[in-house]
Amino acid sequence: MAAFRSLTADRLPLEPFVIAAAQGRNAKSSEEKGLFVNDELPLHLFAPRDIPIPETAPGMLRLFEHFKIPSAFIAESTQNISQSLAVQKDIDGTAYIWFHFLCKTFVHERRAMHDSADIERVRIHAQNQSQADFSWLKPGFVLKVKKQPGFPRMPGRTRTSSSDATMALASPEPSVELLCFGAPESLGDRFRKLASVAICDDLLQDPYVLLEVVLEEMYKVLDRTGWDISHIFGNIEAETLELATTPGKAKDLPRHHFTGLHNLAKQVTYLRENCDSALATLSGLRHHHSSVIGEHPEPAQEFTRQAFEYRKTLFQSTQRRLASLDKRMANIIQLSFHLVTVGDSRIMMSENQSMKTIAVMTLIFMPLGTVAGIFGTQFMKLDEDEPWHIRVSQDFWLLWVIAVPLTLIVLFIWRVWYYVVRGRLRDDLPPRWLRWATGIFEKKKKGHDGRRKDPEKAAYDAGAVVTST
């Protein structure tokens, strides 16, 4: 009756796993190595990443069935879960501890080759940007601990409240299996070295030490990625600070300066998320391990507890360093914008100087041009014979009757336009005597865009509030 409570009874996640593999939904795994089994220690199995791809799906399904991988772990693979931790016990007494560890790995100055299909072009273009090259590492780990009642019970020491140490029958020997999906090669090398120095019985005393080894190697991957990004950003930071001493040379900033900074900041954001997820996983493991070992742990269990505590401080150190790196990037991005602004301001100042020179020259020659224009009209004529007097027409007053009103009209139109534009920029209501002009400009704009404006809305584009009676 209790069979449905088995962690492997629900095989529903296998169907979407098979469908996704047939459709090729996921990209090809970066871990293309086959199965690697280490039986010198408690069984360690290294397999490709647990994602549904056509190349590995059949073998993965057989692997899931053979080792009775929990259905929830398989479901996480099809749902692209970024962080998880589960500690459950099956109906046969087998304890399962599993989690996924998502980490971004940064690969500088490398360009991955992709298909040229249209659906890939946007992603390819994004990855070909400055400092945008990266890959994802998402290994999954399953630790199975099962007591073996068939082993002979060996006497051991247990602690009780009535005595410091008494002889008692030890618990059955455990059977330990650790399955690593898509783990980095450094973890396999670490377990190979561990096999040469560790004793199987020592590891069986507290199998959780295997997960501590896993977290140690994953921390190295995350921390190394953080340092790689920090070193790349350090070079950009030094170049930017050097240009800050000569703001006029802001044009010397690399073409993809801001794109590279944005992508680096994005990588740091992802890494901070990965670090937070790792700390959450580690916190759950520490809590569960403490509940298992109780108040009087054995030496091996105490060692594992201390190792978890130490690993926590390392993840926290990387977390603080990433937060500091994030702030440094924000400062450099702000400084870069200031440098560009200062450079543009200096260009505008040089152009203003040119316009100022033109304006001064215009003012100098304007009176001469005005006089020349007046004397060049038909209202004034120079006698051809001596004494060469200038004769002024009796209709000379017509020149001023026409010129003066036209000048006043031009000045008035310019002033109205100036107030309307300034009001839009400042989000201010125009003076009362200019409300009619605002309406004219609005009607003109409506004629250009072909849309009607609600009369209850603002009288101009800046959003000024108009009250109606």
**CA 219 – CA 137 distance, rounded (Å):** 12
**CA 127 – CA 263 distance, rounded (Å):** 10
Residue 167's CB is within 10 A of a number of other CB atoms, namely: 9
Q: Over the chain (469 residues), what is each successive 10-residue block's mean pLDDT?
A: 58 65 51 51 73 78 85 83 85 88 65 39 52 73 76 40 41 75 86 74 81 91 90 88 77 79 88 92 92 85 92 94 94 86 78 86 88 83 78 86 91 84 70 63 50 43 38
For the stretch 127-172, pLDDT in tens is 555 655 567 788 889 999 887 554 343 344 444 334 444 434 445 5
Local structure of residue 461 (DSSP, 8 states): T
Local structure of residue 268 (DSSP, 8 states): H
What's the confidence (pLDDT) of residue 12? 65
Q: Which residues pair with 156 in a beta bridge?
A: 168
Where do we find the tokens 């109606």? 468
What's the confidence (pLDDT) of residue 23? 61
DSSP-derived pairing of the beta strands 43-47 and 173-181: parallel
What's the confidence (pLDDT) of residue 198? 65
**CA 260 – CA 229 distance, rounded (Å):** 11
For the stretch 61-97, pLDDT in tens is 888 888 888 888 888 877 777 788 998 888 888 889 9
What's the confidence (pLDDT) of residue 457? 43
pTM of the predicted model, to two decimals? 0.65
The alpha carbons of the chain give a radius of gyration, in whole angstroms, of 39
Q: In a 10 Å sphere around its CB, with 0-12 CB exposed, 13-18 middle and 19+ buried, how is residue 361 labelled?
A: exposed
What's the confidence (pLDDT) of residue 319? 94
DSSP-derived pairing of the beta strands 390-392 and 95-101: unpaired
Pair of tokens at residue 434: 């200019």
Q: Which of 28, 87, 94, 76 is nearest to 55 (CA)?
A: 28
CA 103 to chain centroid, in Å, comes to 13
What's the confidence (pLDDT) of residue 320? 95
What's phi and psi for 141, nearest 5 deg? -130, 135
User: Hey, is 169 helix, strand or coil?
Assistant: strand
Residue 411's CB is within 10 A of a number of other CB atoms, namely: 10
**CA 55 – CA 406 distance, rounded (Å):** 84
